């Protein structure tokens, strides 16, 4: 069929589809998403490379093995983030055969090609897919979903490597670096991190890691850096070595996002934990070798409807400072698990239900309360880690995405924790002091207006009087390449815009994005990534917190697609 004929056909089908109603009524938990949220969820999954069994559904349209393999690859590269590994639905609607088969191939071509107002991208008209790929995908989602392989203890042990045994590691710090002020910067598309000296602004080492490192976390002692990639590979880096580098590595699954270490007194550096997207599970490991010790599945019932979910992904993990517990947040079920690690042979887990889909979050300034975003419910849940219970659920803006959030003392309302949003321009300030400021606790005491939707991270520091908010997923380059700064003492004044992308001095950065403000240890500098495409120049811009002027620009051919960066001291002590 020619392109004009194809377009005519799909436009006719689109009109019929509109008259007949939407593809499927979304459950209440599935709300329309913004382009920023679609872009955020649609990142490539490492599962695209995993072989999977092709089941034959006699009711589905026929596919060759090559077509099925193409469909599987495209699905995990483009669709799984929204619709789930097993197509049960998450941010996006379910795409299982019971939903897709009654619609038929022609209808599905329209839906895939032209998108929907609820946030489905227009894959054909945007140029992201051609007609052949749209046709393959329309037939692919009518097939039974292929399930990726499980990943248990046997598979983990095969990936486990102790590169430098503990007994052969330094007995004291063997370098002259100010370790507390080292930054771990993710080089997303090269499978590396850059260790950067925060004092000299020089690169210490480029360390090979897993694919698209998602987060860096520190051991309680501040000696070991743990990073985890989307391919579920953990790298353990010893900062005491003459040149800090890998000392152990392990894969805990096929796709993952989170890693953390034991923080409670008496257990510092003893254990590590990581959570997987697939298989849905978390793994507790030896803290100095990454030897896997305990695997716990997260499959189970959702909050509210109490329906079984086959793939509840582990979104974020923090270590409690009040008890020997890991705080594990399970995305699809809307549950926070307080995992008591004092006895792995008799593991105790406290289950706290809040709202779906739990994503990221951080501790309040007292470190007693963990604030986690249920981003598809537009809520923040506060977990009391001392009492082991839900403290409150607070309604916020559209699709909260706080990162770790930001803590500061509001001049009127006392201690607050802040979150930005993917779906709107607001920044919600939530009171976090139920003792001295009881009337303000767990309420949005003030809503700030930022530059726009598409915010991923915001940050403050105990020694700063400013709040920094990024907007890297905003479709407007004037917004995505700049940074909003608020004066904490005069929040009603609004924000000041810093042209960070311009300060980077990159001549051809393409679709640059400025993201993830991170303070140095002293709290007088703010570091930002200027993230360009893999084949373009990127940079890190360092801003003076007092003058709001650029203090340094770090450029190096090795800084390829820098995204998140984590200061050792601030990460070690949960300062944000």
Active site residues: 79, 82-83, 120, 359, 401
β 300-301/292-297 pair status: unpaired
Which three-class secondary structure state does DSSP give residue 304?
Answer: coil
Residue 26's closest CA among 78, 79, 93, 84?
A: 93
Among residues 371, 306, 360, 307, the alpha carbon closest in space to that of 331 is found at 360
CA dist 66 → 63, 257, 527 (Å):
8, 30, 46
Q: Tokens standing for 265?
A: 């007194």
CA distance 258 to 268: 18
d(CA 403, CA 214) in angstroms, rounded, equals 11
Phi, psi of 178 (to 5 degrees): -80, 90
What is the SS3 assignment for 202?
A: coil
DSSP result, 207-222: EE-STTEEEEEE-TTS
Number of other residues whose CB lies within 10 A of the CB of residue 400: 32
> Within 13 Å and on the Cβ side, how many CA atoms surround 374?
26
Beta carbons of 362 and 404 less than 8 angstroms apart: yes
- The 3 state secondary structure assigned to 31-72 is CCCCHHHHHHHCCCCHHHHCCCCCCCCCCCCCCCHHHHHHHH
Give the helix/strand (H/E) hosting 382: strand 379-384
Cα separation, 183 vs 203, whole angstroms: 9
CA dihedral of residues 230, 504, 38, 251 (deg, nearest 10) = 0
Beta partners for residue 358, in sequence order: 374
DSSP conformation class of 558: T
Exposure string for 75-93, b = 16+ CB within 10 A, e = fewer:
bbbbbbbbbbbbbbbbbbb
Buried b (16+ CB within 10 A) or exposed e, 236-268: bbbbbbeebbbbbbbbbbbbbbbbbbbbbeebb
């Amino acid at each position: 069929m020619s392109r004009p004929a194809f377009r005519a056909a799909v436009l006719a089908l689109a009109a019929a589809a509109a008259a007949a109603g939407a593809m499927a009524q979304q459950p209440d938990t599935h709300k329309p998403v913004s382009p920023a949220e679609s872009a955020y969820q649609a990142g490539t999954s490492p599962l695209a490379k995993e072989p999977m069994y092709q089941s034959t559904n006699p009711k589905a349209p026929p596919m060759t093995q090559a077509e099925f393999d193409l469909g599987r690859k495209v699905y995990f590269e483009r669709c799984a983030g929204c619709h789930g590994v097993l197509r049960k639905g998450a941010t996006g609607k379910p795409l299982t055969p019971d939903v897709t088969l009654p619609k038929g191939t022609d209808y599905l071509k329209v839906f895939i090609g032209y998108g929907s107002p609820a946030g489905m991208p227009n894959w054909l008209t945007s140029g992201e897919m051609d007609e052949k790929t749209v046709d393959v995908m329309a037939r692919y989602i009518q097939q039974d979903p292929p399930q990726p392989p499980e990943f248990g203890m046997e598979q983990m042990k095969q990936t486990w490597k102790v590169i430098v045994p503990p007994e052969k590691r330094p007995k004291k710090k063997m370098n002259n670096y100010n370790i507390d002020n080292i930054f771990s910067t993710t080089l997303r598309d090269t499978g590396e991190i850059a260790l950067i000296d925060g004092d000299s602004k020089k690169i210490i080492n480029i360390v090979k890691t897993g694919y698209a490192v998602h987060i860096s976390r520190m051991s309680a002692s501040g000696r070991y850096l743990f990073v985890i990639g989307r391919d579920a590979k953990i790298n353990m880096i010893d900062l005491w070595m003459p040149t800090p580098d890998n000392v152990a590595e392990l894969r805990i699954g096929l796709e993952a996002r989170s890693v953390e270490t034991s923080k409670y007194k008496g257990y510092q550096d003893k254990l590590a934990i990581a959570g997987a997207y697939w298989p849905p599970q978390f793994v507790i490991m030896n803290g100095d070798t990454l030897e896997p010790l305990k695997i716990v599945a997260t499959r189970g019932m959702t909050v509210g409807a109490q329906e079984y979910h086959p793939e509840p992904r582990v979104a974020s993990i923090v270590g409690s400072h009040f008890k020997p517990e890991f705080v594990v947040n399970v995305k699809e079920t809307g549950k926070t698990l307080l995992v008591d690690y004092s006895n792995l042979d008799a593991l105790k887990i406290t289950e706290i239900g809040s709202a779906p889909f739990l994503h990221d979050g951080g501790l309040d300034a007292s470190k007693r309360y963990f604030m986690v975003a249920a981003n598809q419910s537009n809520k923040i849940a506060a977990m009391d880690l001392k009492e082991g219970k839900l403290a409150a659920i607070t309604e916020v803006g559209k699709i909260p995405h706080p990162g770790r959030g930001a803590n500061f003392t509001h001049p009127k309302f006392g201690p607050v924790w802040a979150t930005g949003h993917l779906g709107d321009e607001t920044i919600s300030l939530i009171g976090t002091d139920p003792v001295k400021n009881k009337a303000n606790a767990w309420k949005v005491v003030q809503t700030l207006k930022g530059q726009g939707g598409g915010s991923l991270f915001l940050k403050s520091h105990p020694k700063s009087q400013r709040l920094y908010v990024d907007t890297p997923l905003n479709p407007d380059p004037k917004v995505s390449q700049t940074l909003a700064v608020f004066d904490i003492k005069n929040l009603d004044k609004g924000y000041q815009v810093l042209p960070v992308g311009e300060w980077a001095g990159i001549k051809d950065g393409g679709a640059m994005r400025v993201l993830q403000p991170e303070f140095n240890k002293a709290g007088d500098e703010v570091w930002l990534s200027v993230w360009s495409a893999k084949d373009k120049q990127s940079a890190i811009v360092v801003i003076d917190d007092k003058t709001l002027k650029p203090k340094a620009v770090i450029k190096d051919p090795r800084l390829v697609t820098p995204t998140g960066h984590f200061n050792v001291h601030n990460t070690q002590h949960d300062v944000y």
